[in-house]
Amino acid sequence: MKALLVLVLSSLCATAMADEVPTDVAQQQPAIEEYTYSTHLDVAKVISMSEIPNVCEVVPAKMEYDDSKGQRHILRYSVMGNGCSNG
């Protein structure tokens, strides 16, 4: 009976700890910044860029980068899709 009680309590503790992990990760994720023509960009290192779809229209894209101070940023901007032909 004691073993069953210990098993139940340990599973509850593991579940409670698992619920806390996404909160910590969400706090570490930088806010998404919207690009405008007046946005000053300080890009020291590009971490990732979203894939541009094969459509002929303006689509949203994201770039994750580190600035010269080492802070992580996520920038959302608009780009023309890769599906247009020039002739």
* pLDDT of res. 38: 93
- Residue 26 binned pLDDT confidence (cut-offs 50, 70, 90): low
Using one digit for the tens of pLDDT, what is the confidence trace for 46-71? 999 999 999 999 999 999 999 999 99
CATH code: domain 2-80 is 2.30.140.50
Long-range contacts of 73-77 (CB under 8 A, 24+ apart): 73/30, 73/33, 74/29, 74/30, 74/31, 74/32, 74/33, 75/32, 75/33, 75/34, 75/35, 75/39, 75/41, 76/32, 76/33, 76/34, 76/35, 77/34, 77/35
58 or 4, which is more confident:
58
Domain boundaries, the chain: 2-80
* pLDDT of res. 29: 83
* pLDDT of res. 35: 95
* pLDDT of res. 85: 82
